[in-house]
Structure 1
Amino acid sequence: DPQGELQGQNVLIVRYSVELTAARFGITVEKVNHLLASARAKMADMRITRPRPHLDTKMLASWNGLMLSAFARVGAVLGDEALLERAKQAGNFLKEHLWDSETQTILRSCCGGEQHELQQMSPSISGFLDDYAFIICGLLDLYEATFQTEWLQWAEELQLRQDLLFWDDQGGGYFCSDPSDSTILLQLKEDQDGAEPSANSVSASNLLRLSHYTGNQEWLQKSQQLLTAFSDRLARVPIALPEMVRALMAQHYTLKQIVICGQRDDSDTAGLLAAVNSLYLPFKVLMLTDGSPESFLCQRLPVLSSMFQLDGVATAHVCQDFTCSLPVTDPQELRRLLLDGATDS
């Protein structure tokens, strides 16, 4: 009580367990629980008569992007459908409430009203770099967890928009806010991964991953230019940018492309995916294709149309540096193949 506000008043605190309290006063545990429940009810009745404390109901696009990544990654690793459903709900929420399809702009935030309805500020605030970067990362993770290409398509769309709004053509990397906004006097590029990763650090990985998903070499070059823009900071204080160091390592080792040819809901496909998700593979992109030339991935990467299933069974192809291993159908064989590759890198 540093302010001395509670002098002479009782301050409720739990010091001992229910069992020790019952023994101290010579009563039963059931009696203690009954007394505590009665006391809580009386306090709740009194609390209702007081003004409610202010509640922060804002929902930030960037934070929801981070949450989306977490649910998608953990759901995929654990095979937890409930977590994957939450990830999909988060993706749908972002697209429905924090994406302006008319202006092709992410909105910074929305908030909950008194009746739990969603409200937008008027005028609405356009998203910053971290909103785009974190959502794109979440969408890529959500694709690798569900293999619903709608998330990959939206990630591609958002990356194009991010490039248009924030990319620095002169020095490389992304500004934190739109350079065309005349109300911002000083344009900054965040160069530290703190409680939240730097949006440029996340973008370096996003660009690399998207270049492998789409075959867009411009994104690979942008990722390299971004790392070059922060090279002095990386060389002097790498501990300040661990997420960007991870992106630099991914550039160095190159990403492993794991392509599963099969139907998403088939058990043999699920077995191969479980083998992949059972391993920690930080430098990889995971794709699922049924070989249809009309699919989003095959249109972006025509080489996928030449990959096939062996004997009608779900088949994995592992590629790196433009070289692919022999196709495998057994989950344990795929796991051994990925482990051997992990030791090489």
Structure 2
Amino acid sequence: MSNELHKESSPYLLQHATNPVHWKAWSPEIFKTAKEKKKLILVSIGYSTCHWCHVMEHESFENEEVAEIMNQNFIAVKVDREERPDVDAIYMKAVQLMTGRGGWPLNVVCLPDGKPVWGGTYFRKNDWTNTLEQLQELYKNQPEKMLDYSEKLHAGITNFGLIEQQLDADVINLDKIEDFIAKWEKSFDWEFGGYTRAPKFMMPTNYQFLLQYGYLTKNQKLLNYVNLTLTKMAFGGIFDTVAGGFSRYSVDVKWHVPHFEKMAYDNGQLLSLYADAYKISKNIIYKEVIEKTISFIEREWLNKKGGFYSALDADSLNKENHLEEGAFYVWTKEELNHILKDDFELFSQVFNVNEFGHWEKENYVLIQTDTLEEIANQNNLKTVELQEKKKKWENSLFIEREKRPKPRLDDKCITSWNAILSKGFIDSSKALENENYLNIAVKNTNFILNTLMSESGNLFHTYKNEKATINGFLEDYAFVIDTLIALYETTFDEMWLYHAKNLTNYCMDHFYDVDKKFFRFTSNLDAALISNHYELEDNVIPASNSVMASNLFKLSIYFENTFYEDIARQMAASVFAAIDYPSAFSNWLSVALHFSNYQKEVAVCGENHIGFLKEIKTGYYPKVLLAGCDKNSELPFLKNRYSGPKNTFYVCQNKSCLAPTKSLKQVYKDLNN
């Protein structure tokens, strides 16, 4: 046996291809091999930009003595969690049940049938080898103990996170949202935004709901909190003010020092969030964040086919040619002084090159605390002068930084993440009225439909080296459908809606569980894992089931399909009744609002429908669906509504429409009622 990872395309697996460990990639054959050799299976899960994965590799997996123990007693399996989120989800449940926490690297020891008996995250070398030797000894001498434990744990995994069906699907008590908000507010950080804890993750789906709900209910306190959070994130080191893009999380409470990797799924969601916030506030800080982030994505992640790459590593080569977290991004005073010369003191005021902005050793991570207006006033400058200086400084730093060794790129394309990024570009195009952003989204969506979808109608999950692989998961379908609907609401080309409907019907056939009334994460065409997984909790990325529920509701309107609506309502009612802590179900709360009086639809039929709809969509209407046509349409929602070239407006709610009007002013009045 030998290390087989050189056969793979995943950047994470390839990082481990020269380890002395006899790694195998995940496949059904590993269980057959383990049973034949009567060996335990060791599953180690991570991803290419995971800092502690790199540390454990260096300390343990590159070590010959450690490798000998692993090779002698275990079938060692490396898994890229981004390629196989289904495998990761199952074993993450196991580790959370065993230890009360999770994270990456994720390490699990399983019986030959794949059922876990032990697990954890990062381990130091001696702890790792001692544990493995103890597990092997137990398996050799008392296998019945392991078997008994594995059966009990497997029962826990099977039931983990499941929600009982709500028998009365019409009962979604929206009054409870106020109680949720009151509970939620106790964790708000009113100094730096986000939550009162470290590390701080950005959780875009949380702020999307709070922005929606605050706006719809005219709750200025909630809007102030979201704006505080978005401003402090934009000011913090978590946002790369030099070149754009957000890192994954901040290790401190003030968004200052990030865990420096940049992920596609974060940046796509944050584009949508900042775009929506900009529609309300017209805050130029948000506009700058959007423009810089899109510039970063185009420069670093957009490939020639229109696909987006996945991530940039936290680690890069330092001056001593060693991999070091954040080496590419940080600055010393001497470097800044050399680059900025006479402007260094003013730059230091803006970006806190002082005790507040100091990180470690001699390194500073740029962070703002005061607005440019405030600093300009303190220095007898015009704000516009300081704005121009800031642009010039950042350009100088960008040029200098580009000379450094760049962080490693994860150049696989993940279907769900591409759709999330594409949606971010669509939302940004509406907020900033930028057609180029929309064109990139259209090209990306065509890349998904033409390259990441088979002739049989199924999506693939990943794309690398000119090849699409791994049958798609629910998250791929959910986010692609969401993006297709968003594209329709921007272009009003009905082709996008029919693509969305086809993919939805595919999900009904291959993912929907008629007994559980939710969608499985994995297709019924794929080899079964030790347990089905139903992704229900909204996390850093919204749960694929909550996204599907929203998709079903929207498509039920466009296609007047009560079957879709009934499933969406059943899903939302069941989850809503089970919510304890709202931040873990924030996208579900947004789904629940579809079944409220805030939900409305607008159709514009006439020769200038796109112009009028474009005007409407630059505003913030979080629970309004848009449709339009300039000729007779067979789309059920628009059928028989076109009456000639002169524009007619329809505002609808709860399956009934107000009287048609020729007045856009009347439309706005109806929408704001």
Alignment coverage as a number of residue pairs: 296
Q: How does 1:89-238 map to 2 (within 5 A)?
A: 89-100=443-454, 102-111=455-464, 113=465, 119-120=466-467, 124-234=469-579, 236-238=580-582
Q: How does 1:67-86 map to 2 (within 5 A)?
A: 67-86=421-440
Q: Secondary structure at the match of 1:105?
A: coil
Gap regions ≥5 residues in structure 1: 24-32, 114-118, 341-345
CA distance in 2, matches of 1:280, 1:169: 36
Asked if 1:272 is matched to 2:605, the reply is: no
Gap regions ≥5 residues in structure 2: 1-54, 56-317, 323-329, 346-392
- More moved, 247-256 vs 186-195: 247-256
Q: Secondary structure at the match of 1:75?
A: helix
CA distance in 1, matches of 2:446, 2:510: 23
The structure 2 residue matched to 1:314, chosen from 629, 636, 647, is: 647
Q: Secondary structure at the match of 1:308?
A: coil
Alignment partner, residue 43 of structure 2: none
Q: Secondary structure at the match of 2:672?
A: helix
Alignment partner, residue 332 of structure 1: 665
- Asked if structure 2 preserves the Cα contact closer than 8 Å seen for 1:68 and 1:90, the reply is yes
- Asked if structure 1 preserves the Cα contact closer than 8 Å seen for 2:471 and 2:526, the reply is no
CA distance in 2, matches of 1:324, 1:78: 31
Alignment partner, residue 188 of structure 2: none
Task: Give a deviation string over 1:290-329, Cα, whole Å, max 9, x none.
Answer: 342xx341xx34x6314535xx422211111233223233
Asked if 1:256 is matched to 2:609, the reply is: no
Alignment partner, residue 340 of structure 2: 18
- Asked if structure 2 preserves the Cα contact closer than 8 Å seen for 1:275 and 1:331, the reply is no
Task: State the one-letter code of the partner of 2:605.
Answer: C
- Asked if structure 1 preserves the Cα contact closer than 8 Å seen for 2:478 and 2:551, the reply is yes
CA distance in 2, matches of 1:254, 1:210: 17
- Asked if structure 2 preserves the Cα contact closer than 8 Å seen for 1:272 and 1:334, the reply is no
CA distance in 2, matches of 1:306, 1:330: 16
Q: TM-score, normalised by structure 2?
A: 0.41
Task: Give a deviation string over 1:38-96, Cα, whole Å, max 9, x none.
Answer: x969x95x97xxxx975311011001111121222222343321111111111111111
Task: State the one-letter code of the partner of 1:136.
Answer: I
- Asked if structure 2 preserves the Cα contact closer than 8 Å seen for 1:289 and 1:304, the reply is no
Alignment partner, residue 95 of structure 2: none
Q: Secondary structure at the match of 1:317?
A: strand
- Asked if structure 2 preserves the Cα contact closer than 8 Å seen for 1:149 and 1:296, the reply is no
Tell me how far 1:139 sits from its aligned partner. Answer: 0.3
Q: Which aligned segments of 4 or more residues in structure 1 are displaced greater than 4 angstroms?
A: none
The structure 2 residue matched to 1:283, chosen from 620, 623, 627, is: 623
- Asked if structure 2 preserves the Cα contact closer than 8 Å seen for 1:254 and 1:321, the reply is no
When residues 6 and 154 of structure 1 are mapped into structure 2, their CA distance, relative to the original with a 3 A threshold, is closer
CA distance in 2, matches of 1:12, 1:138: 38
CA distance in 2, matches of 1:75, 1:203: 24
Task: State the one-letter code of the partner of 2:515.
Answer: Q
- Asked if structure 1 preserves the Cα contact closer than 8 Å seen for 2:649 and 2:662, the reply is yes
Task: State the one-letter code of the partner of 1:109.
Answer: T
Q: Secondary structure at the match of 1:110?
A: strand
CA distance in 1, matches of 2:577, 2:426: 34
- Asked if structure 2 preserves the Cα contact closer than 8 Å seen for 1:171 and 1:229, the reply is no
Task: Give a deviation string over 1:101-151, Cα, whole Å, max 9, x none.
Answer: x2211000102x4xxxxx215xx2010000000000000000000011111
Tell me how far 1:270 sits from its aligned partner. Answer: 4.1
Q: Secondary structure at the match of 2:626?
A: strand
CA distance in 1, matches of 2:407, 2:420: 27
CA distance in 2, matches of 1:156, 1:296: 14
CA distance in 1, matches of 2:407, 2:432: 38
Q: TM-score, normalised by structure 1?
A: 0.76
CA distance in 2, matches of 1:22, 1:224: 58
Tell me how far 1:186 sits from its aligned partner. Answer: 1.1
Task: State the one-letter code of the partner of 1:201.
Answer: S
Aligned-residue sequence identity (percent) comes to 25
CA distance in 1, matches of 2:440, 2:616: 22
CA distance in 2, matches of 1:187, 1:59: 25
Q: Secondary structure at the match of 2:444?
A: helix
Task: State the one-letter code of the partner of 2:640.
Answer: S
